Structure 1
Amino acid sequence: MAKLKSDALLDLKHLAHAGREVNVRVTPKARRDSLSLRDGTLRVTVTAPPEDGKANEAVRKLLARAMGIAPSRLHLRRGQTARDKTFVCLEG
């Protein structure tokens, strides 16, 4: 996963609550890692390929960083093989 400047990330700290579900639309194999909000949908692009869970892990780490929490506090609930995914924040 490519390094992002901290100021390049959306501030998603308001989503970091236990039990909160975060729905995202993912684009793997992108030119760079990014988070954007378009048409009310949180869109995530990652450079990782969609094989062996690499893209899912990259999305989890990027979301956690934007939310200001440890990646271990985010769990992929739905969408392991789909572009639309739902992550849930765990207590911690």
Structure 2
Amino acid sequence: MTTDLQLEFDGTAVLLPVRAQPKSSKNRIDGIHDGRLKVCVTQAPEKGKANKALLKVIKDGLNLRRSQIELHKGETAGLKVFRITEITPDELHQKIRDALNKSG
């Protein structure tokens, strides 16, 4: 497991790469794997349910408002990118560190 999260900033938002783990036993942020934030959700990947659950886990885990976060890429893939506005990459890194310290 690497701790080097590959965040991109497109000028207006931070692009957060995520590895989705659907059908998990718990909803949680599970660390950083291969440069991506690993997020586990209990929902199965059908009809967008897992994507909605992922959004909620990331929003709650990183203490974001719903209006700040959207799925940017990977609607049907396990590797996704979420777009997060009104935050700098440094602030997002800190929120991720805080979330991982709480869960671990």
Q: State TM-score, norm by structure 1.
A: 0.72
Q: Which of these residues, 40, 63, 68, is aligned with residue 68 of structure 1?
A: 63
- The reply on whether 1:25 has 2:19 as its aligned counterpart is yes
Q: Distance in 2 between matches of 1:67 and 1:49?
A: 22
Matches within 5 A, 1:75-90: 75-90=70-85
Q: CA 1:82–1:39 in 2, change beyond 3 Å: closer, same or farther?
A: closer
Q: CA 1:40–1:90 in 2, change beyond 3 Å: closer, same or farther?
A: closer
Q: State TM-score, norm by structure 2.
A: 0.64
Number of paired residues? 75
TM-superposed CA distance for 1:49, in Å, is 0.9
Q: Aligned to 1:65, what secondary structure does the other structure show?
A: helix
Greater relative contact order, per chain length (Cα 8 Å cut-off, separation 6+): 1
Task: Give structure 2 stretches of 5+ with no counterpart.
Answer: 1-11, 87-104
Q: Which amino acid aligns with 1:19?
A: A
Q: Report % sequence identity.
A: 35
Task: Give structure 1 stretches of 5+ with no counterpart.
Answer: 1-17
